[in-house]
Amino acid sequence: MGTFLCQMEVFMSKVNVVLGTFFGDEGKGKIIDYLSTNADVSIRCSGGNNAGHTIMVDGKKFAFHLIPSGILNSNTKAIIGNGVVIDPKVLIEEINTLQNAGFSTDNLFISNKAHIIMPYHIVLDRLLEENRGANKIGTTARGIGPAYCDKFERSGIRIEDFVTPKFCDIARINIENKNRIFASFGYKPLDADAIISEYEEYAKFLAPFVKDTINIIHKSLEENKNVLCEGAQATLLDIDFGTYPFVTSSNPTIGGVCTGTGVGAKDIGEVYGVLKAYSSKVGEGPFLTEQDNEIGDTIRELGHEYGTTTKRPRRCGWLDLVALKYSCRINGLTGLAINHLDTIGKLDKIKLCVNYIHNGKVSMDFSTNPTYISNCKPVYEEFEGNFGDLSNIKKREDLPKNAQIYLNRIEDVVKVPIKFIGTGPDRNNMIIC
């Protein structure tokens, strides 16, 4: 019996995970797209359509907000996990876009436990932001925060209720309650009947995709299948570990993989942390290595740093290895995926933040505490740029010497191996180490 159990363990596969290490938009979609060519299952575990994951295939651009990027491979089961909040309208648009581009969506499954974003969440997101004035967070205004609030307050609408007649009653009570709040903002009430009849149509469309995805995931692991999890957002946007309150309302870090999919800690395999060879951020909040100057503007233009979801210009700066080390610690990263080496390599000189000076002392400790951050000064090392055209290089050792020196220094400091290097936006512009 004991031997038999041991053998079962051996033949079960693990979930490989792709997570953002900084403020999002590091190129997670591209890494997932590469990994999902061999994946049987690809799962989104948290966030909603605040995410925008871009994939370039032969010059054609795909932007995913809710559906796991692995959907492009028809052999991969694409699962929207229970930790995701779903705007049904956006999901239906995404399904239609894929179908019109000739992709099958028969391989899409939506967790019965995921929650839906209702119109009142979007209104509330906007009203709360307006009310914050100068202290605004800079949310994507997609209703993410209010939808997660309702989930935890237990008045949220799960997909499994959305697709049954129960939806009508729950939605009506919620809309009446939210209208009372809107009145206090002087905002006009929402029309419950109109919303319910519109959303019942969405529910009919989505019903065939709804499954108990936990069973699908665990059966796949027991059958030794290749299972991938696509994180959204990133470590410094995490509700617990990010730069609160300038964060999103979920856990985009490793814990969110377990709670957002239903897999256990022992089921986690490789944990890849995605970063850019520089840093970027949308929205407000501290960003120590930001270059709010000509350098930042140059990086923004070279890297086309404009949001996939909101089109906002992204704030840009140097790579911060103290923050990266924090991300390695929080997530237990087993490998790094560094994108945009081509972009940073277009500069003559590149800076890398290798530690901080905190109250006059050298420190490798990151903290999201605002007082701590305001007392830290980044310490930079300077590197030679001008890497030249990297797009066809397939081996790390074939990279120009300056690029190798830059990458080696990153590994040296954070002590996590680089497994993938992005040399351009296309699927093929990648070095596998």
List binders of ligand GDP among 309-368 (CB under 6 A).
339-340, 342-343
The alpha carbon of 23 is separated from its chain's Cα centroid by a whole number of angstroms, namely: 9
Question: Which part of the chain contacts ligand GDP (CB under 6 A), choosing from 28-36, 120-128, 241-249, 287-295?
Answer: 28-36
Candidates 12, 56, 127, 149; binder of ligand GDP (CB under 6 A) is 56
174/309 with CB nearer ligand GDP: 309
Residue 337 binds ligand IMO (CB under 6 A): no
Q: Among 36, 235, 261, 308, which residue interacts with ligand GDP (rule: CB under 6 A)?
A: 308
The residues, any chain, with a CB within 8 Å of residue 160's CB and separated by 6 or more, are: 112, 113, 210
- Nearest approach, Cβ of 234 to ligand GDP (angstroms)? 8
28 binds ligand GDP (CB under 6 A): yes
Q: How far is 28 from 117, CA to CA, in rounded Å?
A: 24
Least CB distance to ligand IMO at residue 370 (A)? 16
Piece in contact with ligand GDP (CB under 6 A), picked from 5-13, 48-56, 133-141, 199-207 = 48-56
Site residues (CB under 5 A) for Mg ion, limited to 44-103: 52
Q: Please count the other Cβ atoms lying within 10 Å of the Cβ belonging to residue 295.
A: 18
425 makes contact, choosing from ligand IMO, Mg ion, ligand GDP, none, with CB < 5 to 8 Å by partner type, with ligand GDP
Is 213 a binding residue for Mg ion by CB under 5 A? The answer is no
Q: Considering beta carbons, is residue 253 or 308 the nearer one to Mg ion?
A: 308
304 is catalytic: no
Please state, in angstroms and rounded to a whole number, the distance separating the CA atoms of residues 46 and 256.
7
Q: How far apart are CA 140 and CA 289, in angstroms?
A: 23
Contact pattern from residue 413 through residue 432 relative to ligand GDP, giving x for each residue in contact according to CB under 6 A and a dash for the rest: ---------xxxx---x---
**Catalytic, out of 33, 40, 53, 161:** 53
CA angle 52, 58, 59 (to 5 degrees): 60
Q: Is 422 a residue that touches Mg ion (CB under 5 A)?
A: no
Smallest separation, CB 64 to ligand GDP (Å): 8
Residue 53: active-site member = yes
* Count of residues interacting with ligand GDP (CB under 6 A): 23
Q: Assess 230 for contact with ligand GDP (CB under 6 A).
A: no
Candidates 68, 70, 83, 145; binder of ligand IMO (CB under 6 A) is 145
Q: Is the dihedral of CA 145, 214, 51, 21 positive or negative?
A: positive
Piece of 47-55, 198-206, 289-297, 370-378 that binds ligand GDP (CB under 6 A): 47-55
**Per the structure block, which two tokens stand in for 287?**
């960003």
Q: Does 139 bind ligand GDP (CB under 6 A)?
A: no
Nearest CB to ligand GDP, comparing residues 233 and 368: 233
- Amino acid residing at 413: V
Residue 125 found at the interface with ligand GDP (CB under 6 A): no
**Which residue among 34, 48, 53, 328 contacts ligand GDP (CB under 6 A)?**
53
- List residues binding ligand GDP (CB under 6 A): 20, 24-30, 52-54, 56, 304, 308, 339-340, 342-343, 422-425, 429
Active-site residue set: 25, 53
- List residues binding ligand IMO (CB under 6 A): 20, 23-25, 50-53, 137-140, 142, 144-145, 232-234, 237, 246, 248-249, 282-283, 308
